Amino acid sequence: MLALPLHDLPTRSASGFLIRHVVPRAEPPQLVGPLDRKALFSTLSAGDAIIGVGHGDPARFSGYRDQVLIDLSSIPDVRGKVVVLISCQTARQLGPALINAGADSYIGFLEDLVWVMDAESASTPWADKFAAPAMMPIVNCVNTILDGKVTADAFVVLTNELMRNAAVEEEDELIAACLRFNAKNASLLGNPMARVKARPKVAFPLPPPPLFPYLA
Amino acid sequence: MSKEFEDLKEALRKPATPEAMREAAQRFREYERVKRLSGKPGSKPTLVSLGFRKDYPTQIDVRDIPREMETNPAFFEQMRKIVGEE
């Protein structure tokens, strides 16, 4: 399952990269924009992976317009699944709770997930050159999982690429500091040898159409 | 690492007193003036995060970072974590 809210700049930026690089190879359900709500999320249990973008804190992960999708008291059926939460701080409590509830493996962050994006790219977030150094390692981590490789490999892709991009971005120290911060706080819990069934690789010759305009 | 960023890091390592927050804001303005991140044509660099119901903004124009650092201790602490504790 993919959960991709689009209601503000950070969700647009992160979801946008996944729409461009992950959605075409992931089967439904794909909860994009206003569909990413509790009523749908909690009733859908198909698939072997949950990959979600959303605002979060140690005990909560949210969807469209910050509706809480998962918290410590309402954990969906995650048995045997690989869970990736592109969110803030969920590795502190929610990640361990997901593993206790039977998730095979979890990747998330102990602290805030922070990056610099270009607000002028809100309609085509996948083309945002400021955000790419932070978002492409996440995309490549998710795609490593969808390649059928173990989550330990995907986690190495995530942290290595963040650190490599930080070295490349040394010219802009704020962006580099954010990348190092995210790498330091990335967390893998559960079984590092967990894997999902491999999805076919898809070439991406054309970017998707622009998203509806962002209205602050 | 540039001197301006080193100075910013140093300022962010101090306790979040009004004086330290003002100093950090000034250091960020100097860093921004030299780096001109917000001056790149056709772009609007914005610092974002996926925090849930935070005491600081989860999307802030880079040009507004000094003002927020100066007035919001929670944002100062957040910038300390990202930049000051490196």
The string of pLDDT tens digits covering residues A130-144 is 999 999 999 999 999
Tokens 């990736």 belong to which residue? A84
- What angle, 0 to 180 degrees and rounded to 10, lies between the N-to-C axes of helices A9-21 and A132-146? 40
B34–chain A nearest CA distance, Å = 11
Residue B56's closest chain A neighbor by CA? A112
For residue B7 the two structure tokens come to: 């100075």
Q: Is A75 on the interface with B (CB under 8 A)?
A: no
Listed by number, the residues of chain B in 27-86 with a beta carbon closer than 8 Å to a beta carbon of chain A are 31, 35, 37, 42-53, 58-59, 61-62, 78, 81-83, 86
Q: How far is A197 from A84, CA to CA, in rounded Å?
A: 15
Q: Mean pLDDT throughout A98-119?
A: 97
Q: Contacts of residue A113 in chain B, CB cutoff 8 Å?
A: 49-50
Contacts of A39 (CB under 8 A, 6+ apart): none
CB contact under 8 A, A10 and B48: yes
CB contact under 8 A, B46 and A117: yes
In chain B, how many domains are there?
1
In this prediction, residue A205 has a pLDDT band, given cuts at 50, 70 and 90, of low
Segment holding A215, helix H or strand E: none
Q: Is A48 on the interface with B (CB under 8 A)?
A: no
* Helices assigned H by DSSP within chain A: 9-21, 38-41, 94-100, 132-146, 151-168, 173-185
Q: Contacts of residue B38 in chain A, CB cutoff 8 Å?
A: none
Largest CA distance in chain A: 47
Whole-number Cα distances in Å, A152 to A81, A94, A105, B15, B77: 15, 19, 9, 38, 32
Q: Contacts of residue B60 in chain A, CB cutoff 8 Å?
A: none
pLDDT digits (tens, 9 = 90+) for B24-80: 999 999 998 887 765 677 889 999 999 999 999 999 999 999 999 999 999 999 999
pLDDT cut 70: percent of chain A above it: 99
Q: How far is A85 from A51, CA to CA, in rounded Å?
A: 6
Compute the mean pLDDT over every residue in chain A, rounded to the nearest whole number: 93
Q: How far is A138 from B19, CA to CA, in rounded Å?
A: 38
Q: Is A6 on the interface with B (CB under 8 A)?
A: no
Indicate the CATH number for domain A2-190: 3.40.50.1460
Q: Which domain covers residue B68, as residue numbers?
A: 3-84
Neighbours of B49 (CB within 10 A): 25
pLDDT of residue B38: 59
Q: Is A53 on the interface with B (CB under 8 A)?
A: yes
B6–chain A nearest CA distance, Å = 10
Q: Contacts of residue A215 in chain B, CB cutoff 8 Å?
A: none
> pTM score, two decimals?
0.94
Q: Contacts of residue A118 in chain B, CB cutoff 8 Å?
A: 43-46
pLDDT of residue B75: 97
